[in-house]
Chain A
């Protein structure tokens, strides 16, 4: 967990390697068997040219980074806004980075606003977004 909540503070990054096996496992766990994720011959014939990871799998890694940094504050009071820019594919290594962009106080409660980005090994942006986490209350 972060011990210091201040503007510019980087969150510990998360690195994950995407494989078709992991995508298949995620399909089973989530119940999302859309063929673009799990059917390699179907996906090869689409404009995407092959299977892609579920957007929610990529976002799970972002949540992992936020949970490591903020613990229960994230799990019970986090907000997230994400845009999926490019698909993640089997063989990709994703690196999720984030930092606190500002700390705001509203009604005696402090909130950490963070920016995050998920990039592949080529440096392409896969997911980009912002999060907000309640980090302290003067009333507590």
Chain B
């Protein structure tokens, strides 16, 4: 299945990236824990969930091959424990798009829900793209 992509130029405040669903399987969580050098504690690490939310956005954003994307800041709020094996839905929206000189900044709002439609996490990411 192909993912519909959007170019950076097409992004405007209010643009919603296609929602993405992830099953947080034991193998996915184990892969994440290995990558971050952590033993885990029986639940999905909240930052693994954020990583899914960010991946759902970057996966559908088409950038020039020479583009450097730098994470400038991150805000997060966690609302619920997420058990291993849970399914989540990630929603990302462009809150602001700022261009200052040779630097472009994207401010994105992230929201993650569990299968029962309860919000498990929200956040705000600032991404810098030197042009």
Contact = CB atoms under 8 A, between A and B. Distances in A.
A21 B116 CA distance: 37
Given A55-B74, A75-B78, A36 B38 contact: no
A55 B50 CA distance: 12
B51 A32 contact: yes
Interface residues of A, number: 39
A81 interface: yes
Given A34-B58, A76-B79, A25 B72 contact: no
A80 interface: yes
A48 interface: yes
Contacts, number: 117
Interface string A59-73: 111011001000110
Interface in A47-103: 47-48, 54-57, 59-61, 63-64, 67, 71-72, 74-84, 87
A38 B37 CA distance: 18
Nearest to A56: B51
Given A26-B36, A57-B35, A76-B79, A63 B47 contact: yes
B84 to A, nearest CB: 12
B98 interface: no
Interface string A4-33: 000000000000100000100110111110
Contacts of A46: 68
Interface of A: 16, 22, 25-26, 28-32, 34-36, 46-48, 54-57, 59-61, 63-64, 67, 71-72, 74-84, 87
Interface of B: 28, 31-32, 34-38, 41, 43, 45-48, 50-52, 54-55, 58-59, 65, 68-81, 130
